[in-house]
Structure 1
Amino acid sequence: MTELYSERGASGWPLVWGPLFAVLGLLSELIIGDRPHTLMWIVTGLGLLWLTAVWVYARRRFLAVRVTSTHLTQGREHLKIADIASLPDEEAKPGTRVLGGGLSVPRKYAEVPVRLKDGTRVLAWASDAEAFRDALRTAVKDCTP
């Protein structure tokens, strides 16, 4: 199973922000000459770390995109490449089902219409639509006998 395209949904860098802000707050109190509120800054850093960890986890779970030689994964939904008939160039009609379980294509993601072998049309999505479409076309071409 060859991976042709992958998006993780979020990187781990945001996890650094909360503790970094807390350290900067503590340092600013030390520079100003106030008595530092060390416990408050530790609790603040841990709280921001926890909130950011939940955010990163959710983005990685619901916004991950992966195309392999056998499957297309969009968020929580997996679709066999063998079930894809083509990638039409025309725009999808309003109300077309979106892969991944959402009501619409996620913000800042481009939609890619997909026609399945049973005749239905669905919307796939990716941040780099051209690379995603090329990977899907390659997978579909390699999968057809």
Structure 2
Amino acid sequence: MSVLYREPGASGWPVLWGPLFAAAGYLLELLAGDRPHTLLWVFVAAGLSLFFAAWVFARRRFLAVAVTDTELRQGAERLPVERIESASDVPTPLGTRVLGGSWSVPRKYTELPLRLDDGTVVLAWARDPERLRAALERARRT
């Protein structure tokens, strides 16, 4: 099973923000002439790192997009590729269901209407909908 398109949802670099903010606070305390509170800054770094790790984990779980030979994955929802009838020039009726379990397309993502084999229309979403459409077309041909 090969991956034809992939958006991870988030990169791991925000986890480094905690130690960077803590190091900046530590250096500011040093520059101010005070004795820095090292243990406090270690706890700040650890706490912020845990917070941002949870944030990255959630984004990777709920905002990841992938197309393989057999399925389209949008967040936690999986749709078999053989159910997709069309990914081009599909009108979007009002109240169309969004894939991934959300009420709307996630912010900073673009919708891509898909017509399924039973005639229903659903909204897929991606940061690059043209590449997603091309990957779905490629998956449908294989």
Asked if these proteins are the same fold (TM beyond 0.5), I'd say yes
Structure 1 residues 23-69: Cα deviation after superposition (integer angstroms, max 9, x where no partner)? 11111111221111112211111111111011000000000000011
Structure 1 residues 107-139: Cα deviation after superposition (integer angstroms, max 9, x where no partner)? 000000001101111000000111111111111
Q: Which residues in structure 2 correspond to 1:37-56 (within 5 Å)?
A: 37-56=37-56
Could you tell me which residue of structure 2 aligns to residue 32 of structure 1? 32
User: Which amino acid is the alignment partner of residue 101 of structure 1?
Assistant: G
Give % identity: 58
Structure 1 residues 7-28: Cα deviation after superposition (integer angstroms, max 9, x where no partner)? 0000000000011110111111
Could you tell me which residue of structure 2 aligns to residue 129 of structure 1? 129
User: CA–CA distance in 2 between the matches of 1:94 and 1:88?
Assistant: 18
User: CA–CA distance in 2 between the matches of 1:22 and 1:90?
Assistant: 50
User: CA–CA distance in 1 between the matches of 2:28 and 2:42?
Assistant: 14
Could you tell me which residue of structure 2 aligns to residue 65 of structure 1? 65
Distance 1:116 1:90, change over 3 A: closer
Could you tell me which residue of structure 2 aligns to residue 118 of structure 1? 118
Could you tell me which residue of structure 1 aligns to residue 74 of structure 2? 74
Q: Which runs of 5+ in 2 are unaligned?
A: none
Structure 1 segments of 4 or more deviating over 6 A? none
- Superposition deviation, residue 89 in structure 1: 1.4
User: CA–CA distance in 1 between the matches of 2:47 and 2:94?
Assistant: 41
- State TM-score, norm by structure 2: 0.96
User: CA–CA distance in 2 between the matches of 1:132 and 1:87?
Assistant: 9
User: CA–CA distance in 2 between the matches of 1:35 and 1:131?
Assistant: 54
Could you tell me which residue of structure 1 aligns to residue 108 of structure 2? 108
User: CA–CA distance in 1 between the matches of 2:27 and 2:74?
Assistant: 43
- Superposition deviation, residue 90 in structure 1: 4.0
Secondary structure class of the residue paired with 1:39:
helix
Q: Which runs of 5+ in 1 are unaligned?
A: none
